[in-house]
Amino acid sequence: MKSDETKTQPLHVAIIMDGNGRWAQKRLLPRSFGHREGVKTLIRLVTHAFDTGFKYVTVYAFSTENRLRPKEEVDGLVDLIRKNFATTFRRFIDRGIKIRILGDRKFFPSDVAQILSDAESDSKDGKNGTFNVALNYGGRAEIVRAVNEAVKRGEEVSEESIGKLLYTYGQPDPDMLIRTGGEKRLSNFLLYQTAYTELFFTDTLWPDFSDEEFDSVVDEFRHRNRRYGKVK
């Protein structure tokens, strides 16, 4: 019989990267500094996840609700994508990682939307993993979009028909979801896909989230008993 350490190798981790603004405010810095620091953590942590055996990594980078923040902060977040994401994506494309954008990119200026489209196009043949980046994404909107599309096609609304129309179609649902920053909720992230996902919450703010803490969460996951509603 296999030990708990080897019986469960998670393939898909989803991450809510919360706490950038508070990280900056604790240091008496503008919130924009925290978002920039958060990009550094994103690159490091996602790289580590792929290096340690994950095949799918999904991050919540910009929600539909984030658009309700002060205009200055929203503009700063969009500019952060403009200035950093092309080179960030290239790091992963060069190692054979496929990039997939989840969400309605029509919100973004044309130059930013082009960066996102180019990343997907340039990485379409990647075989070494998939990096999903949720941008202007909302879980409820994703479900509504899928249902409307199924109806438009004249299909019966079912789990199968909806599943085929989700942004993550063709991928396994997340095995585990990590939220940093102390809050204990999903905040409209992957509502359909996380029905049986193991949830982990940490008070650590995203810029301070270390590879070691990530590994500790993965170790805890390996010791959980996933029953999917059954008796084991």
Task: Decide if 18 is catalytic.
Answer: yes
Please say whether the beta carbons of 82 and 115 come within 8 A: yes
Tell me how far apart the alpha carbons of residues 64 and 54 are, in angstroms, rounded to a whole number.
27
Please say whether the beta carbons of 133 and 88 come within 8 A: no
Residue whose C-alpha is closest to residue 59's, from 163, 214, 195, 222: 214
Q: Which of 51, 66, 84, 203 is catalytic?
A: 66
Q: Hey, is 51 helix, strand or coil?
A: helix
Q: Which of 18, 20, 173, 175 is catalytic?
A: 18
Please say whether the beta carbons of 34 and 76 come within 8 A: no
Task: Decide if 66 is catalytic.
Answer: yes
Tell me how far apart the alpha carbons of residues 10 and 221 are, in angstroms, rounded to a whole number.
8
Tell me how far apart the alpha carbons of residues 14 and 197 are, in angstroms, rounded to a whole number.
9
Please say whether the beta carbons of 173 and 12 come within 8 A: yes
Residue 230 CB neighbour total at 10 angstroms: 6
Please say whether the beta carbons of 74 and 67 come within 8 A: yes
The backbone region for 106, taken as left when phi is positive above 0, alpha when psi lies in -120 to 50, beta otherwise, is alpha
The alpha carbon of residue 217 and the mean position of all alpha carbons in its chain are separated, in whole angstroms, by 16
> So which residues are the catalytic ones?
18, 66
